Amino acid sequence: MKINRRDFLKKTLVASASVAAPCFIPASALGRNGMVAPSERIVMAGIGIGGRGTHDLGWMIGEPDVQVVAICDVRKNRREAAKNIVDGKYGNKDCALYSDIRQFLAERTDVDAVLTATGDRWHALAATMAMRAGKDVYCEKPSCLTIAQGQMIVETARRYGRVFQTGAQRLSEPNHVFAIEMARAGRLGKVHTVYADIRYRGGSRHDWLPEQPLPPREELDWDAWLGPCPWRPYNATYVNHGWYNFYDFATDVAMWGAHTLAQALAGIDMENVSTIEFEYAGPDATIVTRLSNGVKLVLVRVDGSCWDPCQYWHGACGERFDGPEGWTAAADGYSITDVSKPSLLREYRKVLNEYIDRTRRPMNHMRDFLDCVKSRRLAVAHPEIMYRSMSICLAADICDVLKHNVKFDFIKGEFVGDVEANRMRFRANRETWRA
């Protein structure tokens, strides 16, 4: 093709100008103007985002270094509602939707971590599947339905090198942290008695609800909703939060104890505790236990709603530590920790600041998880914390069912000399949904 000198020079000048023109790069891609650079962002997804999950999702996307890219839920309305929250936050339509956890985990290799806030029946299985797929996990409580499931999570997190945080968020709240630190640091003297709130009970029904017409699979995948649980005919009451009344899908003491046992154990020296003994006192009675380090742990049952006061605290989800120098207690709704005498509060701020300096943890449970995803250290509510607190809850359930005293060995993960109790460490899972 012929080209004259004038045309050649003109085209050369145009090409040079295009090369010299500055290339526009958004500030968000460079981490400027308060934005987090893509290389520093944690790519996350949600599994089972309903009532509590919606709260956690809002908490999660409020952190500047989080980018939520996908939602997996067996219920269409829940999937779409969660997507609307995510897309509304980012101002786009990019959040992907999945109804099958297996497909989601197989396809989304870009996801670093997941929030799982399914119904209780799915917590352990979803967390285990996600960790095996290389994801870190923030898992709502109770994180397991059986002692064996708790052991499975501990072993999976260790084997695959994953960060796991159970949703015992009060371990990161100032009033609870102060009560725990006063006990742990010996400011109450040697703690001799600890109390934990287990007032609310679920999972006690063993009957079935009558069968109702099954919705289209696109609206609800019933087989996946049941997951590892026994097959039961569909009834809308189950999926509309009625599941927590039924043993097939829930627990008893662990329904509420999952909130409070982690708090109670954090204030005492659990590293040297090998066993715990349960004294059976009758149905619905407060359960007294003895730890091998000599501490008495009292699981308090109170009639009434979760907010009704009791002699140890007012409000819900309480714990209390008693020592020769006094006691501290905390529960939801407190403006400041309860103490036996005002002098114990003199160094309130100092105690909290010392905790932060010593642990380098924020007073924010989700933030602690995200920081640990980056640093790869154990979260404040790591798998072993979950396993020990849930084992106590589940052993208390077993004590109630068998109606006799039991002794549990934390190290061996089994009951001492009790064949019946040891059989109840497990539940049968449907073949399709085994971990």
CA gap 261, 274 in Å, rounded = 16
Torsion angles phi and psi, residue 173, rounded to 5: -110, 135
**Side chain identity at 98, as an amino acid letter?**
Y
pTM for this predicted structure: 0.91
- 1 contacts: CB under 8 Å, gap ≥ 6: none
Length of the chain: 435
From residue 290, give the alpha-carbon distance in Å to each of 4, 51, 278, 294, 299.
98, 36, 7, 7, 11
Distance CA 81, CA 57 (A): 11
Q: Read off the pLDDT of each residue in 331-355 and give the average, rounded to a whole number.
A: 96
Q: What pLDDT band is residue 283 in, cutting at 50, 70 and 90?
A: confident
| CA distance linking residue 166 with residue 143, whole number of Å | 7
Q: Is the pLDDT of residue 28 over 60?
A: no
Give the tens place of pLDDT for each residue, 45-89: 999 999 899 999 999 999 999 999 999 999 999 999 999 999 999
Question: 421 vs 185, 253, 398, CA distance in Å?
Answer: 35, 16, 6
> Phi and psi of 43, rounded to 5°?
-85, 120
Residue-wise pLDDT for 387-434, tens only, equals 999 999 999 999 999 999 999 999 999 999 999 999 999 999 999 898
Which pLDDT band, with edges at 50, 70 and 90, does 199 fall under?
confident
Task: Tell me the CA distances in angstroms from 294 to 132, 268, 280, one per residue in order.
Answer: 38, 11, 18
The rounded radius of gyration (Å) of the Cα atoms in the chain is: 26
Q: Using one digit for the tens of pLDDT, what is the confidence trace for 82-120?
A: 999 999 999 999 999 999 999 999 999 999 999 999 999
Longest CA pairwise span in the chain (Å): 104
pLDDT in tens, 171-181: 999 999 999 99
How many angstroms separate the CA atoms of 316 and 306, rounded?
5
Domains and CATH numbers, the chain: 30-166 (3.40.50.720), 170-202+251-357+383-433 (3.30.360), 205-249 (no CATH)
The DSSP code for 326 is: E
Confidence category of residue 16, pLDDT binned at 50, 70, 90? low
- Listed in sequence order, the residues at least 6 apart from 222 whose beta carbon sits closer than 8 Å to its beta carbon are 214, 215, 234
Cβ contacts of 342 within 8 Å, gap of 6 or more: none
What average pLDDT score do residues 241-255 get?
A: 89
Q: Is pLDDT at 4 greater than 80 in this prediction? A: no
Token digits of residue 26: 């958004």
**Would you place residue 19 in the very low, low, confident or very high pLDDT band (cuts 50, 70, 90)?**
very low
**Is it the case that residue 18 has pLDDT exceeding 70?**
no
pLDDT(323) > 70: yes
Q: Tell me whether residue 246 is exposed, middle or buried, using C-beta atoms within 10 angstroms of its C-beta: 0 to 12, 13 to 18, 19 or more.
A: buried
Contacts of 313 (CB under 8 A, 6+ apart): 197, 319, 320, 329, 330, 331, 338
Number of H helices, E strands in the chain: 15, 15
- According to DSSP, residue 283 is labeled T
